[in-house]
């Protein structure tokens, strides 16, 4: 029973508060509700269109042609965005499609361009490849505005800007890489030519003393030593031959042939038997020489003549040993005329020719010996200079080899860069392709009027309740006898209700009319202010859209 009494007293209290504060609560509810509904009604519709751009990978396998554009796609997209969202590009788009007409009348062009930048959004979509890393495979370009058709056209234009700028950027980077490598290759080629000239001059200057010629020099030196030894042996044999021929010629010149005796005439005198034996010996030797030319030493006639020549030589030797020696004094005092000169035999003439040939051979061998010794000295000096030339050549060729390797590396990279440049010019590299073009949206993307209306009603109710409770809390007057009795110890004897006179009623009626008119005027002002604030205010629409979401 007590609980029912408390519930009834609580309900009575709420009803009492409502009866006292109903107009304040109604005003606190209607004013924000009118403002919110007006703003929601007058806000412009914001349409959003999006175009999806697919990133097509390089069409030519990287095993054949490596692209010179190696930067990450996200980095290149950031760079391309800076180019696409530049003031020049956006200003051209604003003038082309007539965007932000009202704003251009009131604000500066820089603010309008910044507004358009804020309305453009780029969203990168990534996909996991082989579970190792994330790679960008597509990105979405979106734009928002008040006209659906214009928004879709602007979005597709922006997507085409990204595609064109990507192609130009890749081609520009490939071309700049090729030009850089070409310049580096030219500088390296000049340096390589200079070093090649120095190396060639060094080789020409020290020809024969180079390290790679060491084996050839040693082989040549060994060959010259062998030729010198052979020359020495040939000289020894030629000297022995000359001595033998000289001895034979000395013996042959002492004798005359039968033809020489006949040519001497009847007045010529010859020494007795020794001279005749000597003539026979000369004839036998001549015959033996002819037979040896035709036959070997074992031929019977050659063997026989050899024995006869040996016997005659022994006899002549014994005769010379027994004969008297001539008296020089007698010869000097004799005034008899000298016997006539007798010509030499053919055998003696051949011996003279053989002696002359042997002497010529010895002279040639001597000359050849000198040439060989000079050659040995030259090659010996070359062999001794090889270590020093090797050190000099190593120091010189070290820079040359490094430059040559650098040139070969640059040449290879330059050829690869040319292939990559050709690939980019033919648009066979990585490309952007519109996968889903932007289309006019049938429904506005913002604001969400239903959600904003519910939020406005809830806020108005909360404001009305809060205003009533605040007013009740601030009011310190007593509205009931029980409240006064509970507050004061003085007993309350009687409660007198308020007496309403006719004048009071008339005055209250006027007050009500004035309050109604003021409320109406306030509502009209609120609606007008909301219209002025919301009409065409895209920023406010987007702000409320973010709040409502």
Rama region for 433: left / alpha / beta (φ>0; ψ in -120 to 50; rest): beta
Picking from 343, 328, 348, 323, the residue whose alpha carbon sits closest to that of residue 268 is 343
Q: Degrees (nearest 5) of the Cα angle 127, 133, 137? A: 30
What's the pLDDT score for residue 166? Answer: 87
- Mean pLDDT over 195-206 rounds to 81
135 pLDDT tier (thresholds 50, 70, 90): low
Please give the mean pLDDT across all residues of the chain: 77
Instruction: Give the model's pLDDT for residue 209.
Output: 73
212-269: pLDDT as tens digits:
778 887 888 888 889 888 988 888 888 888 887 777 777 666 554 444 444 444 444 4
Comparing 112 with 337, the larger pLDDT belongs to 112
Report the length, in residues, of the chain.
549
Place 278 in a pLDDT band, splitting at 50, 70 and 90: low
Say whether pLDDT at 376 is over 90. no
Reduced to 3 states (helix: H, G, I; strand: E, B; else coil), residue 121 is strand
Most confident segment among 54-63, 328-337, 510-519: 510-519
Assign domain 216-325+342-396 one CATH number from 2.60.40, 1.10.287, 2.170.270, 1.10.3470.
1.10.287
Helix or strand (DSSP H, E) at 438: none
What pLDDT sits at residue 507?
81
- Please check the confidence at residue 481 and state whether its pLDDT lies above 70: no
| pLDDT at 186 > cutoff 60 | yes
Going by pLDDT thresholds of 50, 70 and 90, the confidence category of residue 328 is: very low
Among 2-16, 221-235, 265-279, the range with the most confident prediction by mean pLDDT is 221-235
Return the pLDDT at 46: 83
Q: What are phi and psi of 545, to 5 degrees?
A: -65, -40
Residue, of 367 and 474, whose pLDDT is higher: 367
| pLDDT of 540 above 80 | no
Angle at 43 between CA 42 and CA 44, to 5 degrees: 115
Distance CA 321, CA 52 (A): 137
223-227, 254-258, 501-505, 517-521: least confidently modelled range: 254-258
Q: What is the band of 495 on the pLDDT scale with cuts at 50, 70, 90?
A: low
Cα separations (Å) of 330 from 125, 321, 324, 325, 340?
Answer: 143, 21, 14, 12, 20
Total-model pTM: 0.55
Span 22-30, average pLDDT: 83
Q: What is the pLDDT of residue 159?
A: 92
The Cα–Cα gap between 537 and 115 comes to 12
Q: Bigger pLDDT: 536 or 4?
A: 536
133-145 vs 47-56, strand pairing mode? antiparallel
More confident call, 205 vs 545? 205
The model's pLDDT over 67-87, given as tens digits with 9 standing for 90+, comes to 767 677 788 888 889 989 999
Tell me the mean pLDDT in the region 138-162: 91
Q: Residue with structure tokens 């058709």?
A: 149
Alpha carbon distance 191, 374 (integer Å): 41
What is the pLDDT at residue 228?
87
Looking at residue 255, what is its pLDDT? 54
* Structure tokens that stand for 168 in this block: 């130009």
Other CB atoms within a 10 A radius of the CB of residue 175 amount to 16
Q: Are 125 and 77 in contact (CB under 8 A)?
A: no
**Between 172 and 488, where is the model more confident?**
172
Secondary structure of residue 278 in the 3-state scheme: helix
**How far apart, in whole angstroms, are the C-alpha atoms of residue 355 and residue 243?**
9
Least confident of 4-8, 133-137, 157-161, 360-364: 4-8
pLDDT band per the 50, 70, 90 thresholds, residue 443: confident
Beta strand 120-129 pairing with 47-56: unpaired
Residues 33, 452: Cα–Cα separation, whole Å: 11
- Average pLDDT on 44-66 reads 81
């Amino acid at each position: 029973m007590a609980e029912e009494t408390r519930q009834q007293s609580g309900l009575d209290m709420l009803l009492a508060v409502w009866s006292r504060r109903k107009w304040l609560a109604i005003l606190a509810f209607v004013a924000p509700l009118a403002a919110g509904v007006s703003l929601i009604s007058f806000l412009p519709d914001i349409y959003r269109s999006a175009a999806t751009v697919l990133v097509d990978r390089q069409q030519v396998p990287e095993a054949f042609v490596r692209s010179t554009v190696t930067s990450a796609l996200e980095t290149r997209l950031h760079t391309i965005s800076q180019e696409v969202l530049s003031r020049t590009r956006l200003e051209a788009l604003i003038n082309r499609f007539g965007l932000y007409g009202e704003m251009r009348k009131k604000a500066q062009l820089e603010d309008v361009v910044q507004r358009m930048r804020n309305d453009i959004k780029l969203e990168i979509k990534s996909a996991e490849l082989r579970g190792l890393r994330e790679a960008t495979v597509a990105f979405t370009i979106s734009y928002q505005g008040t006209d659906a058709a214009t928004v879709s056209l602007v979005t597709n234009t922006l997507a085409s800007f990204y595609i064109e700028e990507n192609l130009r950027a890749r081609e520009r980077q490939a071309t700049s890489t090729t030009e850089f490598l070409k310049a580096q290759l030219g500088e390296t080629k000049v340096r390589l030519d200079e070093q090649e000239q120095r190396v060639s001059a060094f080789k020409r200057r020290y020809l024969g003393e180079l390290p790679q010629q060491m084996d050839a020099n040693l082989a040549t030196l060994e060959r010259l030593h062998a030729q010198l030894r052979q020359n020495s042996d040939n000289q020894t044999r030629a000297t022995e031959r000359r001595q033998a021929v000289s001895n034979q010629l000395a013996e042959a010149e002492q004798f005359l042939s039968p033809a020489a005796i006949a040519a001497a005439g009847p007045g010529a005198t010859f020494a007795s038997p020794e001279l005749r034996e000597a003539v026979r010996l000369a004839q036998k030797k001549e015959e033996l020489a002819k037979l040896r030319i035709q036959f070997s030493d074992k031929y019977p006639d050659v063997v026989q003549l050899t024995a006869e020549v040996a016997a005659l030589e022994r006899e002549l030797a014994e005769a010379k040993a027994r004969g008297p020696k001539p008296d020089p004094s007698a010869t000097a005092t004799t005034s008899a005329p000298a016997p006539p000169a007798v010509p030499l035999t053919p055998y003696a003439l051949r011996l003279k020719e053989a002696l002359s040939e042997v002497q010529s051979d010895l002279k040639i061998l001597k000359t050849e010996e000198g040439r060989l010794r000079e050659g040995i000295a030259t090659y010996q000096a070359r062999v001794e200079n090889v270590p020093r030339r090797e050190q000099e050549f190593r120091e010189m060729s070290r820079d040359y080899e490094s430059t040559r390797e650098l040139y070969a590396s640059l040449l290879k990279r330059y050829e690869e860069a040319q292939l990559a440049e050709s690939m980019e010019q033919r648009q066979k590299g990585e490309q952007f392709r519109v996968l889903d073009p932007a289309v006019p949206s049938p429904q506005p993307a913002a604001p969400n009027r239903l959600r904003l209306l519910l939020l406005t009603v809830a806020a108005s109710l909360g404001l009305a309740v809060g205003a009533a409770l605040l007013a009740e809390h601030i009011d310190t007057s007593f509205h009931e006898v029980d409240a006064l009795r509970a507050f004061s110890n003085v007993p309350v004897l009687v409660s007198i209700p308020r007496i309403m006179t006719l004048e009071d009623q008339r005055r209250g009626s006027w007050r009500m009319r004035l309050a109604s008119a003021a409320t109406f005027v306030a509502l009209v002002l609120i609606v007008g202010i909301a219209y002025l604030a919301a009409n065409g205010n895209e920023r406010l629409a987007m702000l409320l859209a973010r709040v409502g979401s």
